Amino acid sequence: MPCWYFDKKELRNSPSLQDGISAETESRYRKEGARFIIDTGTKMDLGYNTMATGVVYFHRFYMAHSFKSFPRYVTACCCLFLAGKVEETPKKCKDIIKIAREKLSDEKFRQFGDDPKEEVMTLERILLQTIKFDLQVEHPYSFLLKYAKSLRGDKTKLQKMVQMAWTFVNDSLCTTLCLQWEPEVIAVALMYLAGKLSKFEVVDWQGRTPKHLRWWDVFVEDVTMDLLEDICHQVLDLYSQPQGNQVPDSPPYEDVPPGRKDRHHPQPISPAQHTHSPAGVPPVKRKDNESSLDKLDMSTINYSSYSSAGPAFPPSSFPASYPPTGFFTPSQPPPSLPPQIIPPPTLPPPNIPPPSLPPPNHPPPVLPPNHSLPPPPHGPMVHPPLSIPPPHLVPPSMSQPPPTHLPPPTRPPYLPPP
């Protein structure tokens, strides 16, 4: 299977950057495309896995193509359309385009061309070839819930931490974290960030052994504090960036000549020529055993500067009373209830009357005296007497029994041939 994880040097040398688009503009295009997928999927009541899969397709697609070659909103509709089929929540292409028409301005919707449905369906083939038909994608959501079940502590604080981490996972879809690290690592990092902000310190967890210094050592190995803080700062950068009302529009959609299947990109640009990396985080200077997130407070994050997108926590697949009793304390067995014996239902006797039998020794009916059947209408029937022939007229075959031995038939004597 293809590898979909890139280092920062490869992210700084994407096709869009080679095509003359600045790193800031590419980062903004990725955010707008991801948020468009999430907003459209939310309006169509799609699951969080479907929307996250569409966003991952979107990010992977633009690691092989430029934003100048393929407009982001057409690609976003195509990614959501394909993700719906992969996650078994399909939606019609015309319904996705209808919502896109409501959300986009006339100028942006002009990128869909004269036949928007044909544009999306054609791009789907290019998308499948670009992602090499690698359709199954894992997301941090499932790992977040799995890791939360193993932690022990105050249930209220733990639920608050998990809910905050769920929000950070939603917002991480607007970054390129899904192109840098596995979902298990992202889930651990964002739970670590949420624990710092909610002042929840994990002191005990299920499966703890002396060699496990931190709770995530049970699930992932070789995860350093530098790596966790790098991921956390990439998410926190979303809340520190100003969201202006007027932003430049998409690059013009250049028509490809009929004889050319793809555009020729210029030679790769050296990473040293770029002063900003879309996934870059300045190095953190700290003392030993000191984290750059220790002094982080909820007051330092302005949620109003970046409206959080994505499905709310808990997901629709969980009951309204999430978490259930004992959810975060797996070491405690559930209470054992005695088996309930349910008696069989008692049915009322049927209202069927007993059969009426004649009383015993019932005498036969008595006929009146001189009772006789009426004579037939044509008088009494007289049978003629049987005529038996005299013995001398009976044929021998009838008067004598057949002989038990019959003589052989007489044959002429055998004469030899002359």
- For the chain of 418 residues, list the mean pLDDT of each consecutive stretch of 10: 89 94 95 96 94 97 96 96 96 95 92 93 96 95 93 89 94 95 95 92 84 88 90 91 52 42 32 32 41 57 48 46 36 45 64 64 64 61 64 58 64 68
Supply the CATH number for residue 22's domain: 1.10.472.10
In a domain, 220, yes or no: yes
Q: State which of 239, 272, 306 marks the end of a domain.
A: 239
Tokens of 155: 């249930």
The reported pLDDT for the residue numbered 382 is 64
In a domain, 111, yes or no: yes
In a domain, 204, yes or no: yes
Total residue length of the chain = 418
Could you tell me if 144 and 209 lie in one domain? yes
d(CA 241, CA 237): 6
In a domain, 191, yes or no: yes
Query: Which residues lie closer than 8 Å to 251 by C-beta, 6 or more apart?
Result: 21, 67, 68
d(CA 44, CA 37): 11
In a domain, 200, yes or no: yes
Instruction: Name which of 215, 190, 195 is nearest 205 in CA terms.
Output: 215
Could you tell me if 44 and 90 lie in one domain? yes
CB atoms within 10 A of CB 129: 10
In a domain, 209, yes or no: yes
Could you tell me if 160 and 208 lie in one domain? yes
Chain Cα centroid distance, residue 115: 30
The reported pLDDT for the residue numbered 93 is 95
In a domain, 341, yes or no: no
SS (H, E, C) the chain: CCCCCCCHHHHCCCHHHHCCCCHHHHHHHHHHHHHHHHHHHHHCCCCHHHHHHHHHHHHHHCCCCCCCCCCHHHHHHHHHHHHHHHCCCCCCHHHHHHHHHHHCCHHHHHHHCCCHHHHHHHHHHHHHHHCCCCCCCCCHHHHHHHHHHHEECCHHHHHHHHHHHHHHHHHHCCCCHHHCCCHHHHHHHHHHHHHHHCCCCCCEECCCCCCCCCHHHHCCCCCCHHHHHHHHHHHHHHHHCCCCCCCCCCCCCCCCCCCCCCCCCCCCCCHHHCCCCCCCCCCCCCCCCCCCCCCCCHHHCCHHHCCCCCCCCCCCCCCCCCCCCCCCCCCCCCCCCCCCCCCCCCCCCCCCCCCCCCCCCCCCCCCCCCCCCCCCCCCCCCCCCCCCCCHHHCCHHHHCCCCCCCCCCCCCCCCCCC
Domain that holds residue 73: 10-131
Contact at 8 Å (CB) between 330 and 179? Answer: no
Query: Which residues lie closer than 8 Å to 30 by C-beta, 6 or more apart?
Result: 58, 59, 62, 174, 175, 176, 278
Could you tell me if 63 and 107 lie in one domain? yes
Q: State which of 97, 131, 165 marks the end of a domain.
A: 131
Could you tell me if 35 and 15 lie in one domain? yes
Could you tell me if 94 and 68 lie in one domain? yes
Tell me: cis bond preceding 323? Omega within 30 of 0 counts.
yes
Q: Give ∠ CA 189-190-195 in degrees, rounded to 5.
A: 100
Could you tell me if 193 and 231 lie in one domain? yes
Give the β-pairing of 151-152 and 204-205. antiparallel
Question: For the chain, how many structural domains are there in total?
Answer: 2
Could you tell me if 145 and 127 lie in one domain? no
Model-level pTM?
0.64
Instruction: Name which of 175, 64, 66 is nearest 128 in CA terms.
Output: 64
In a domain, 231, yes or no: yes
Q: State which of 67, 101, 131 marks the end of a domain.
A: 131
Could you tell me if 126 and 146 lie in one domain? no
Could you tell me if 116 and 157 lie in one domain? no
Q: Residue 308: phi, psi to the nearest 5?
A: -70, 135
Could you tell me if 47 and 93 lie in one domain? yes
CB atoms within 10 A of CB 74: 23
Instruction: Name which of 32, 44, 112 is nearest 81 in CA terms.
Output: 44
Contact at 8 Å (CB) between 291 and 236? Answer: no
Could you tell me if 60 and 27 lie in one domain? yes
Please give the single-letter amino acid code of residue 391.
P
Contact at 8 Å (CB) between 52 and 139? Answer: yes
